[in-house]
């Protein structure tokens, strides 16, 4: 959906809760003064959890980025995120593709003549009882998961990656910490593998969509995912299982047609691990 110069979308119940809390006034300005438990604050962007009308939400509020910061990012060939619009668009696109994410509640955008001063917000529902895959999987070396859960989880992550990339999108922060495992319904059944895992893909503010996804973007996403999983005790069989599910081919076909891609993925993961940890990973199954 194409958004206008100044746009606001509010769930009716959320609008009513705003009016009950603040009285008559401009809903955009009312949202901009909301506050709560801050999760992250960087580059003119603040993410926080808050309660309103007895319900819990997450807000990501953008208040602009200094020109110096914008130019520095551009000089590093990085695309600066100047507002909430990319995330709002990405949330709706993922929902259309059948990828779970944060359910949208509200969006607001106020543009002026200076893009560095643009203000915007996106508000989503709190997901309730969830755990990031980083939190879940880093326990695996000491507490191995149920085999069926492990297999189902790997295949679901591969399905999400395949669907995302098949639609021409790349996440740009595609790490285990940005998947949340839904534990709202029968946690024991999920962790035993009796119930299929439900994963929510989070932090969509840097998502890009292309007519045809560049190979380097796929390598960056999958390489980043692999990097974030290098310390969770994956086996070569786990990696091959992911590869088959992601490519939708047999292992023989995958290696014959896409061997170079997976070599680049491994190189990317190894490079990123050295950069982040100052040493090579202990093992690289792929």
Each domain of the chain, given as residue ranges in start order, spans: 6-125, 130-277
Three-class DSSP category at 191: helix
The pLDDT score that the predictor gives to residue 71 is 66
Neighbours of 36 (CB within 10 A): 16
The pLDDT score that the predictor gives to residue 64 is 76
Query: Which residue in the block uniquely carries the two structure tokens 């895959």?
Result: 133
Report pLDDT digits (tens) over 227-237: 999 999 999 99
> Is 2's pLDDT higher than 60?
no
Report pLDDT digits (tens) over 99-138: 999 999 999 998 766 767 789 999 999 999 999 999 999 9
Looking at 43, 126, 167, 173, which residue is catalytic?
A: 173
CA Rg value for the chain: 20
Tell me the pLDDT band of 75, cut-offs 50, 70 and 90. Answer: low
pTM (predicted TM-score): 0.91
Q: What six digits make up the tokens of 171? A: 């996440």
Paired with 55 in beta bridges are: 52
Relative orientation angle of helices 147-166 and 236-247, to the nearest 10 degrees: 40
> Is 13's pLDDT higher than 50?
yes
Whether the CB-CB separation of 56 and 38 falls below 8 Å is answered with: no
Residue 6 is a catalytic residue: no
1.10.260.40, 1.10.340.30, 2.40.128.50, 1.10.510.10: CATH of 130-277: 1.10.510.10
Give the class (CATH, top level) of 6-125: alpha beta
> Is 3's pLDDT higher than 70?
no
């Amino acid at each position: 959906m194409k958004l206008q110069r100044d746009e606001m979308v509010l769930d009716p119940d959320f609008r009513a809760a705003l009016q009950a809390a603040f009285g008559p006034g401009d809903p955009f300005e009312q949202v901009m003064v909301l506050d709560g438990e801050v999760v992250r604050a960087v580059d003119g962007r603040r993410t926080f959890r808050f309660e309103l009308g007895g319900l819990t939400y997450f807000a990501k509020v953008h208040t602009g980025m200094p020109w110096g910061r914008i130019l520095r990012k551009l000089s590093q060939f990085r695309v600066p995120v100047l507002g909430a619009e990319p995330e709002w668009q990405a949330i709706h696109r993922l929902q259309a593709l059948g990828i779970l994410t944060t359910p949208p509640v509200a969006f607001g955008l106020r543009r002026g003549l200076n893009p560095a001063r643009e203000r915007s917000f996106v508000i989503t529902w709190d997901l309730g009882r969830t755990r990031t895959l980083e939190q879940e999987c880093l326990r695996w070396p000491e507490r191995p998961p149920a085999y069926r859960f492990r297999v189902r989880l790997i295949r679901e992550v591969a399905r999400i990656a395949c669907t995302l990339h098949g639609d021409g999108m790349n996440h740009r922060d595609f790490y285990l910490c940005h998947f949340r495992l839904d534990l709202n319904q029968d946690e024991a059944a999920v962790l035993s593998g009796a119930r299929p895992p439900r994963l929510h893909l989070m932090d969509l503010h840097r998502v890009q969509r292309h007519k045809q996804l560049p190979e380097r973007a796929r390598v960056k996403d999958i390489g980043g995912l692999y990097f974030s999983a290098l310390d969770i005790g994956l086996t070569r069989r786990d990696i091959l299982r992911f590869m088959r599910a992601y490519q939708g081919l047999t292992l023989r076909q995958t290696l014959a047609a896409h061997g170079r891609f997976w070599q680049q993925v491994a190189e990317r993961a190894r490079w990123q691990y050295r950069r982040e940890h100052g040493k090579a990973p202990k093992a690289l199954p792929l």
